[in-house]
A and B are shown apart, each in its own frame.
Chain A
Amino acid sequence: MKAVGARLPRYDGVAHVTGRTTYVDDVRVPGTLWTKALRSPVDHADITGLDLSKAEKMKGVQAVITWKDVPLLEYGHLSALGIPADEPLLAKENVRYKGQPIALVAAEDEETAQAAVEAIGLDLDEKPALFDVRKAFDADAPKVHDWGNWYPHFEGEMDRRQIRKGSIDEAFEQADLIVQGVYRPAAIEHVPIETQVCQVVPEADGRLTIYSCTQALYFSMGVVAAHLQLPLNKLKFVGGTVGGGFGGKVDTATETMCSLLALKSGRPVKWRWTREEEFLCSSTRAPWHMEIADAVTTDGWILGRKMLTLHDSGAYARFSPYGLTKHSFHHTGAYTIPHLEFDGYVVFTNRVPTTAMRGFGVTSVSFAAETHMSRIALELGLDPFEIRMKNANRKGDTSPNGIAYTDPSTIPTIQAVADELGHELSADYRTATSEPRTGEWLPEHLVGQLGDPEGH
């Protein structure tokens, strides 16, 4: 254990401070073509015409690709986990968000590539767009997705992520008070200082060398191989040096399209997004809509929680079904609530697809759950630290999805926060531990609800 507790030098620190770290944009390959994308200028439309003839004839243009050039057009980010594909690599019949890629040009230089993109004829039949998840369920709402306005393929072909635990009716009957809240954290752009960037080199042996800024190298490799219908041994990924990701570089945003351009032109190809593209077209953290109603007692116990979550997925599913599943498992926060009724929907809107960002799916619900704890304390006139510790997870308590906690840390964490803030805890709470519930810490509503503190 030489490393634990020691100040270790960063293995890449010296390279960073001397400017010698080679990011994808710093790779130099002679003869590299520059890439620009034709992206949807509107939020929602049918594509009625696409004319490449002028662009293809321009001097310096080496390859133009559309959906017709993609061997497997739709491959979902989580296809390998059984979540079906829904997003075409390049738009085919319609566009569902502003900035969706429709065609790409590889040309001798950036200016030529941009001029060729502007020379592509694009006819659109614009349709009404949906931006508010709360309106997605209305009969007259714009229809965003072939699947409907929310994801219908959870296990058992359920159209929601659902959790039922205990008896929610019983909890609400026994409650002294119902405390309600609505929580709506907004979308956040990751803003890595390195925008999305990729360099692909077609090698003489028929393989592709792909310099990628992905956060998930082997994952991206699988996505590219699937779209291209190539075996993995035809792809050599070079990665691991990421100029900031924060979740935004889990999506395979550039590698497949650059590979197609390299194969079609036979030349090395590079694509670096502008800052405008990064802001307007790259995926963001999702906006969430969360409604909580808790059945509480005047002395601060939470008997039951009803919760509705609408997770704004943007125009396609990507990782959202997975994010919502994590969200549902954490919807009681760090606290034990025995009676639960949770319904969560992955809702499609005409926004840019949303994705992972630091604590994917959980950050949103932590914000909601913690704010709600403080709201309960305020409504009951109780200490916000003590109401948290009262309901805090202990050994043997069970999570919303029925897993017994073996090493919960809620109580020591809250004690540490109280210490840092100089908040005086009463004696009972000062000496509380995470050990299994007994005595006053085991109220009637939790009897019979506990799991095995040694694990399940």
Chain B
Amino acid sequence: MKLTVNGVQHTIGAAPLTPLLHVLREELGITSPKAGCQQGGCGSCTVLVGGAPRRACLLPIAALDGAEVTTVEGLGTAEALSPIQAAFHEHYAAQCGFCTSGMVIAAHGYLEGGGSSERESIQKALAGHVCRCTGYVKIIDAVEAAAGGEVVANQRWLPQPGEEAPVEIPGAPA
């Protein structure tokens, strides 16, 4: 069967009931989706299938012939973060980072689907994603900012070529 992941087509030979999560992590080496519970309860394995958020741990590969899958690896890069990635970074929405891939990809799907910046609507979109570090407030802040079109000049936070790290800190007292 064929599976397109982040724009690259793969031929998959795994047994039909193999979960998509296993194929991504163990066969394709795409490790951003995490095996947090493997029973659909935590959201850390979430990927987009045809643009819709799905729990990769519960999806048998047989149901996905010809499908298009997007993971966080398919969004922005470290040098050019996507708006939702930049917002998560800017708003400290990632702490230990383990749930972040699932959160970011679900939020990306929400924004691509025209999701609003209403906090209640964001909460609904991210319901079922468990985070034990943040208390969710900063995650919702980040999605709200991205949905509201906030442009984040996050690249300033990365040492640029030729620049000594750490970079100058915005807002720091002299």
A residues engaging B (CB < 8 A)? 1-10, 12-23, 25-26, 28, 190-195, 242-246, 272, 274-275
Contact = CB atoms under 8 A, between A and B. Distances in A.
Nearest to A23: B98
B132 A246 contact: yes
A22 B30 CA distance: 11
In terms of DSSP, what is the predominant structure of the interface of chain B? Answer: loop
A190 B96 CA distance: 14
Given A7-B170, A195-B36, A244-B133, A15 B98 contact: no
A192 B169 contact: no
Interface stretch (B59-67, B76-84, B116-124): B76-84
Interface of B: 29, 31-32, 34-39, 41-42, 44, 71-73, 75-78, 81, 85-86, 88-89, 92, 94, 96-101, 104, 130-133, 154, 157-158, 169-173
Contact of A10 (B34, B72, B77, B94): B94
Contact of B34 (A9, A28, A194): A194
Contacts of A26: 31
Given A2-B169, A193-B36, A244-B133, A18 B97 contact: no
A19 B132 contact: no
A10 B96 CA distance: 11
Contacts of A25: 31, 34-35
24 contacts: A1-B173, A5-B171, A6-B169, A14-B89, A14-B158, A17-B100, A18-B85, A19-B32, A19-B100, A20-B32, A20-B73, A22-B31, A25-B31, A191-B130, A192-B98, A193-B34, A193-B36, A193-B44, A193-B98, A193-B132, A194-B96, A244-B98, A246-B132, A274-B38
A61 B169 CA distance: 54
B97 to A, nearest CB: 3
Contacts of A18: 72-73, 75-78, 81, 85
Given A18-B72, A19-B101, 12 more contacts: A6-B169, A6-B171, A9-B89, A12-B97, A15-B97, A16-B88, A16-B89, A19-B73, A20-B73, A23-B98, A242-B96, A274-B38
Counting from the closest, the 6 A-B pairs by CB-CB distance are A19-B32, A243-B98, A16-B97, A19-B72, A6-B172, A16-B94
Nearest to A191: B132
Given A194-B36, A274-B38, A243 B96 contact: yes
Most chain A CB atoms below 10 A, which of B29, B36, B44, B131? B36
In terms of DSSP, what is the predominant structure of the interface of chain A? Answer: loop
Contacts of A23: 34, 98
Contacts of A9: 89, 157
A197 B154 CA distance: 33
A17 B88 contact: yes
Contact of B36 (A19, A28, A275): A275
B170 A20 contact: no
A8 B170 CA distance: 8
Contacts of B92: 10, 13
B169 A17 contact: no
A2 B166 CA distance: 11
A7 B92 CA distance: 10
B29 to A, nearest CB: 7
Contacts of A22: 31
A15 B78 contact: yes
B104 to A, nearest CB: 6
A15 B99 CA distance: 13
B132 A21 contact: no
Contacts, number: 120
B78 A5 contact: no
B172 A193 contact: no
Contact of B131 (A2, A13, A193): A193
A246 B71 CA distance: 28
Nearest to A246: B132
A275 B38 contact: yes
A2 B35 CA distance: 39
A327 B76 CA distance: 48
Given A19-B101, A26-B31, A275 B172 contact: no
Contact of A275 (B29, B39, B158): B39
Contacts of B32: 19-20
Most chain A CB atoms below 10 A, which of B77, B88, B100? B100
A25 B89 CA distance: 23
Nearest to A245: B96
A190 B37 contact: no
B100 A16 contact: yes
A93 B72 CA distance: 49
Contacts of A13: 88-89, 92, 94, 157
Contacts of B29: 28
Most chain B CB atoms below 10 A, which of A4, A17, A190? A17
Nearest to B31: A26
A242 B81 CA distance: 23
A447 to B, nearest CB: 45
A274 B35 CA distance: 9
Most chain A CB atoms below 10 A, which of B78, B88, B94, B171? B94
Nearest to B173: A5
Contacts of B154: 14
A456 B10 CA distance: 70
Contacts of B158: 14
Contacts of A8: 169
Contacts of B172: 2-3, 5-6
Contacts of B31: 19, 22, 25-26
Contacts of B37: 275
A244 B96 CA distance: 6
B99 A193 contact: yes
